[in-house]
Amino acid sequence: MTELFLSGLLLGASNGVAPGPLSNLIISKTITHGKKEGFFLALAPFASDVFIISIAYFLVKGSEYLVWINTLIPFIGAGFISYLAILGLKASSVHSTDLLDYKFKDAVLVNLLNPYPYLFWVFVGVPLIVNSSYPVFFLLGFYSCFMAIKFLIIWLVDLGLKNRTMKIKQRVNQVLSISLFYFTYKLIMMGVENL
């Protein structure tokens, strides 16, 4: 039990600090709407991971279906992340008066269409807990540390940008939106490699 919990803590911490499309959305939301809204968006994995872990469990038990995830999901995810990047660039342009406003559903979709959570749960998470008597200890350790790290990042971003001008916040959001294209590229390359 203790080993599972500690494994969950360590893996939750490493996943919590890892950069990715969801982290970009959370930081953008925090910059434009404050830490409370950022915290809300950070809860998206609770809505998406039940599905992702279920799929991962199914794939671990029937590994011939793994090709589907490795090929299809990266392309769909790349398209959706590109769409969000374009929205972000439009909303953060100097002439725009609109605030970038990613919704909770956007964060859930980003997580569902990102192959990395599937790969983590297929190759690491589910194999650690599939034959365990107490898988809840791993999940408790993983999500408590994952969320603590995300909340700490949100708090630091909010603290660092609290008294900054809108122009600076727009520039930071532009950089974050452009960086989403990097994740689009990575997902397309992942899909192409798996064709």
87-104 mean pLDDT: 65
**What would the 3-class secondary structure string for 91-118 be?**
HCCCCCCCCCCCCHHHHHHHHHCCHHHH
Tell me how far apart the alpha carbons of residues 52 and 67 are, in angstroms, rounded to a whole number: 15
pLDDT of amino acid 99: 53
pLDDT greater than 80 at residue 185: yes
Handedness of CA 17, 18, 23, 28 (dihedral sign): positive
CB-based contact 90:31 (threshold 8 Å): no
| Least confident residue range of 29-33, 163-167, 191-195 | 163-167
Which residue segment(s) compose the domain that 149 sits in?
2-193
Q: How far apart are CA 163 and CA 93, in angstroms?
A: 20
Q: How confident is the model at residue 97 (pLDDT cuts 50, 70, 90)?
A: very low
pLDDT reported for residue 100: 59
Query: pLDDT tens, 59-68?
Result: 777 665 566 6
Q: Note if the pTM is more than 0.95.
A: no
Q: Which pLDDT tens digit goes with each residue over 105-150?
A: 989 998 998 888 888 888 788 888 877 888 899 999 999 999 999 9
pLDDT score recorded for residue 52: 93
| Domains in the chain, number | 1
